[in-house]
Amino acid sequence: MHSRKRIVLEKSEQTIVIKRVKKYAAGHHGGSWKIAFADFALALMAFFLVLWLIESTTELEKMVIAGYFSDPRSLASAGDGGTPYVLNLQGRPLTLPNQGLNLALVQEDREQAVESSDELENVEYIELARLRETELLQSLQGQLEEVIAGNQEFEWFSDSLSMEVTEDGLSIQIIDRDNRPLFASGSEQMQPYALEVLWAMANVLEDIPNKISIYGHTDSVPFGSDFAQYTNWELSADRANAARRALVEGGLSFQQFAQIIGMGSSLPLLPDDPQDASNRRIVIMVLNQMAERRIMEGTMASELDGGAPPEDAVPEDLPEIF
């Protein structure tokens, strides 16, 4: 009896241990993800920066940049060689930091650079720009051909249109035909169907930045006497100006034209048959940058000289320029 009571007491006196487990937040996993995220953010920023540069730069600036990556030495040599100038994106020479030259020599070079800045040209840049501009003019020619070919009303016009890329730009010749004349006989009045063609062309030409020159040509059939006040010279100039007005009506701006010139019968399309109707034509020249520069430099030179010809100039019978 006593032994059984002792066993019960021993069981009741057993120590009860309560184990409490503390819960902690998840352990720190390190900062490697921050590095990856920073790289991603930097790459994304660089991507948008490239998009912005592509949008804000001109075609010629893009060609300069492309030329640098294709041959960096061509531009780097301009700064590391015997000249302290490089060609920036605007085509003007910039003075590099002093490369061991004294200030007097640097100042002298700067003055010489200002005087001869137009002569400092990068050959590779010019060639690259010329090739790119030729491609753009060829693309423009294709667009104009599609516009003409895509309109059944212009089927008659297929044998009256001649286009080619020349050293001055895209030449668009609209040739007169006896059975389909562009103008009324002896007049600057353009036929309605010819107006529609020029309006269709204007829809394409209004989107380009190039300047445009228009040349009017006639055949050699006399128009009035030698002493008449209105001759083939005036007629060709008036017809060229009529073509300009038609293009303006089609959407071109006044500032897009560089020259409107009457050539008379001085440059026949068929020299062996100067009286042929094909010699009566309008030439619309979409100028490239070199041709536009020659025209603008000639204009500026005449304005600076007060319109007086140089002393060694030889007088010529030139067509009237409007």
Q: Return the pLDDT at 242.
A: 94
Q: Return the pLDDT at 245.
A: 94
Q: Are 243 and 263 spatial neighbours (Cβ–Cβ below 8 Å)?
A: no
Q: Return the pLDDT at 9.
A: 53
CATH architecture of 135-304: 2-Layer Sandwich (3.30)
Assigned token pair, 57: 């730069």
Domain extent listing, the chain: 57-121, 135-304
- Element housing 161 (H / E): strand 161-166
Q: Are 274 and 222 spatial neighbours (Cβ–Cβ below 8 Å)?
A: no
Cα–Cα distances in angstroms (integers) from residue 230 to residues 216, 226, 293, in the given order: 15, 9, 32
Q: Return the pLDDT at 46.
A: 93
- Element housing 35 (H / E): helix 32-56
Using a cut of 0.75, tell me whether the model's pTM lies above it: no
- pLDDT per residue as tens, the chain (322 positions): 555 555 555 555 667 777 776 665 555 566 788 888 999 999 999 999 988 888 887 766 777 677 667 665 555 544 444 444 444 444 444 444 444 334 444 445 545 554 555 554 566 667 777 888 888 888 889 988 888 888 877 877 778 888 999 988 999 999 988 788 888 888 889 998 889 989 999 988 988 888 999 999 998 888 765 566 788 889 999 999 999 999 999 999 989 999 999 999 898 888 889 888 888 999 999 998 888 888 888 754 443 444 444 444 444 444 443 3
Q: Return the pLDDT at 237.
A: 92
Q: Return the pLDDT at 106.
A: 41
Q: Return the pLDDT at 277.
A: 85
Assigned token pair, 213: 């020159």
Q: Are 238 and 229 spatial neighbours (Cβ–Cβ below 8 Å)?
A: no
Query: In angstroms, rounded to a whole number, what is the distance separating the alpha carbons of residues 195 and 283?
Result: 15
